[in-house]
Amino acid sequence: MIETDNLVREITTGKGYVVIPDVLTREEAKEARSLVLHHTKLEREKGKVFHHENKERLCGLIYKGTIFEKIVQHPQVLAIIEKILGTDIILGGFSAHIIYQNATRMGNHVDYPYWAMPAPFPSQPILEVQTIWLVEDFTENNGAPLFAPDTQKLGTWPDVEKFDKIAQKITGKAGSVIISHGLCWHDTSENVTPTPRVSLLGNYTPSFIHPLEENLYDLNTDAIDRATPQLKKLLRHSLKTQEKPFFDIHNKHLYQSPVTS
Ligand SMILES: O=C(O)CCC(=O)C(=O)O
């Protein structure tokens, strides 16, 4: 508990991010990485992988393996996120980011929804927490992310010169997770190794924020059938089921199901 409080403090009023080692086992990290590379190859053949200058994104990750369902609702990580955002949160996006040899930096940025809003950005309520899962070792040379400490306090777009002066490269072992405040300026670095670098990116927001990604993209209904109530809520399926299609906006009671013949 104390640890959770300290980590929350570091994300909100400290540097703006934390790195927690050994959240996944090395085997789990390896499994997630090989599933990402396997599905990326399949999806690329169908023209469904988003790409830009030697970087690729694989979306609909939640439907591509039970390991991903487990990762997005990891209790230790969710406890930290819920302390920051409250319990009424959704998973606005969950995708994999693959950085190949000679990929350029993605460009320093704040996270969604801030980048879709006019600056200066509000400091409260906090509108996003990002998770970057390391499914392999992130090293000095393979595209590890860069974070500019304390910049979540500024509420502005990154200043490129300042970013380059203060940013720190976040290296770590496979199985670690970086949890960051959506306003903390960050970027990726160059991958100068021959091995693709894979991260898993979770975007958590209060439920009133329009999701970054379409959570029905590549829907696999088995994943929903076996989903925990927590996962259904994160994916907004608890609001979309046929039995409970509406909210009463005045008292938030759910309407009863329609009578069917
Ligand atoms: O893949 C990474 O290391 C970070 C990517 C990122 O920050 C983002 O997409 O917002």
Each residue of 21-75: pLDDT tens digit?
Answer: 999 999 999 999 999 999 999 999 988 888 888 999 999 999 999 999 999 999 9
pLDDT, tens digit, 9 for 90 and up, residues 173-200:
999 999 999 999 999 999 999 999 999 9
The Å distance, Cα 221 to ligand 1 centre, comes to: 28
202 lines ligand 1 (CB under 6 A): no
Q: Give me the torsion for CA of 210, 211, 216, 217, rounded to 10°.
A: 120
Tell me whether residue 138 is in a domain.
yes
- Nearest protein Cα to ligand 1, atom 5: 188
Residue 258 has pLDDT above 80, yes or no: no
176 lines ligand 1 (CB under 6 A): no
Tell me whether residue 247 is in a domain.
no
197 lines ligand 1 (CB under 6 A): no
Number of domains comprising the chain: 1
- Percentage of residues in the chain with pLDDT exceeding 90? 81
The Å distance, Cα 249 to ligand 1 centre, comes to: 36
Tell me whether residue 250 is in a domain.
no
Tell me whether residue 241 is in a domain.
no
pLDDT, tens digit, 9 for 90 and up, residues 209-254:
999 998 888 888 899 889 999 999 999 886 555 444 444 444 445 4
pTM of the model: 0.92
Tell me whether residue 213 is in a domain.
yes
132 lines ligand 1 (CB under 6 A): yes
Note down the domain range covering 9. Answer: 2-234
181 lines ligand 1 (CB under 6 A): no
Q: What is the 3-state secondary structure (H, E, C) of 113-146?
A: CHHHCCCCCCCCCCCCEEEEEECCCECCCECCEE
Tell me whether residue 244 is in a domain.
no
For residue 126, the domain's CATH number is 2.60.120.620
Helices 2-12, 75-85: inter-axial angle, 10-degree rounding: 50
Tell me whether residue 204 is in a domain.
yes
Mean pLDDT across the chain:
91
Tell me whether residue 115 is in a domain.
yes
